[in-house]
Chains A and B, each alone.
Chain A
Amino acid sequence: DQQVKQNSPSLSVQEGRISILNCDYTNSMFDYFLWYKKYPAEGPTFLISISSIKDKNEDGRFTVFLNKSAKHLSLHIVPSQPGDSAVYFCAAGGPNAGNMLTFGGGTRLMVKP
């Protein structure tokens, strides 16, 4: 029973264009959501988060959108840069959802120069 799903295992975009990574969840007890970025042979690093009371959070080139009714969130990167090429993990958590972060399976983003 996957509570957090990333249905696209990979995504390829051209440098300068927008990258959109998607994530769906099933547990309505989640009240905050995070995106992590992972390079090979390194641990995941925190990128951006959003609380369930908001529908958008922006940090520079990165924006996360949350649609609670659809149980869907997305990460927009604009403009995409070759250094953004990595695996992106969506994660969700909350004190009423087991007191840990639950991760999706990841999406590998490739930004072509």
Chain B
Amino acid sequence: GAGVSQSPRYKVAKRGQDVALRCDPISGHVSLFWYQQALGQGPEFLTYFQNEAQLDKSGLPSDRFFAERPEGSVSTLKIQRTQQEDSAVYLCASSLWGVSGANVLTFGAGSRLTVL
């Protein structure tokens, strides 16, 4: 596709449920990032993939958060046993190659998660 596609756009989960958020990056983009954006704040880094390798997961807030990109294209962010503080917009972004130079990330529209 022409842009980064994320699904679902909206997800309501009961506390304790598991959720999975999908990201389809721009075709051919090597790097893929997940960010979390709480209401009224800027995006905060969660994790970064280069192809299928997860090179940085330092931003994942707890071991309930897990991300994968098994074939180096589509990525899934999984949140186990959701808590109310997980409510946020989860943004996926991709870039052509690596992080050197002016790394222009192209973002998807995000998946808004609400945990009741």
In the bound complex, do residue B56 and residue A89 qualify as a contact, i.e. CB atoms below 8 Å apart?
A: no
Task: Count contacts on A: residues with CB < 8 A to the other chain.
Answer: 26
Which residues of chain B in 43-93 are interfacial with respect to chain A, using CB atoms and an 8 Å cutoff? 43-45, 48, 55-56, 58-59, 91, 93
In the bound complex, do residue A106 and residue B110 qualify as a contact, i.e. CB atoms below 8 Å apart?
A: no
Return A35 CB to nearest CB of chain B, in Å.
11
Return B113 CB to nearest CB of chain A, in Å.
14
Chain A-chain B contacts (Cβ-Cβ < 8 Å), number: 64
Task: Decide if the interface of chain B is mainly helix, strand, loop or mixed.
Answer: loop
The one of B41, B104, B106 in contact with A49, judged by C-beta atoms closer than 8 angstroms, is: B104
In the bound complex, do residue A100 and residue B48 qualify as a contact, i.e. CB atoms below 8 Å apart?
A: yes
Task: Count contacts on B: residues with CB < 8 A to the other chain.
Answer: 28
Beyond A34-B102, A93-B99, whether A102 also contacts B45 by CB under 8 A is yes
In the bound complex, do residue B99 and residue A95 qualify as a contact, i.e. CB atoms below 8 Å apart?
A: yes
In the bound complex, do residue B99 and residue A49 qualify as a contact, i.e. CB atoms below 8 Å apart?
A: no
Q: Of A13-21, A40-48, A68-76, A77-85, which stretch is located at the interface?
A: A40-48
In the bound complex, do residue B107 and residue A43 qualify as a contact, i.e. CB atoms below 8 Å apart?
A: yes
* C-alpha gap A90/B102 in the complex (Å): 14
Tell which of A36, A43, A46 has the most Cβ of chain B within 10 Å: A43
Beyond A43-B108, A46-B105, whether A99 also contacts B99 by CB under 8 A is yes
Return B79 CB to nearest CB of chain A, in Å.
19
Question: Which residue numbers of B lie inside 8 Å of A, CB to CB?
Answer: 4, 33, 35, 40-45, 48, 55-56, 58-59, 91, 93, 99-110
Question: Which residue numbers of A lie inside 8 Å of B, CB to CB?
Answer: 4, 6, 9, 32, 34, 36, 41-46, 49, 51, 89, 93, 95, 98-106
Given A44-B91, A45-B107, A46-B104, 18 further pairs, Cβ under 8 A = A9-B40, A32-B101, A32-B103, A34-B102, A34-B104, A43-B107, A51-B101, A51-B102, A98-B45, A98-B56, A98-B58, A99-B56, A99-B99, A100-B33, A100-B59, A101-B105, A103-B44, A106-B42
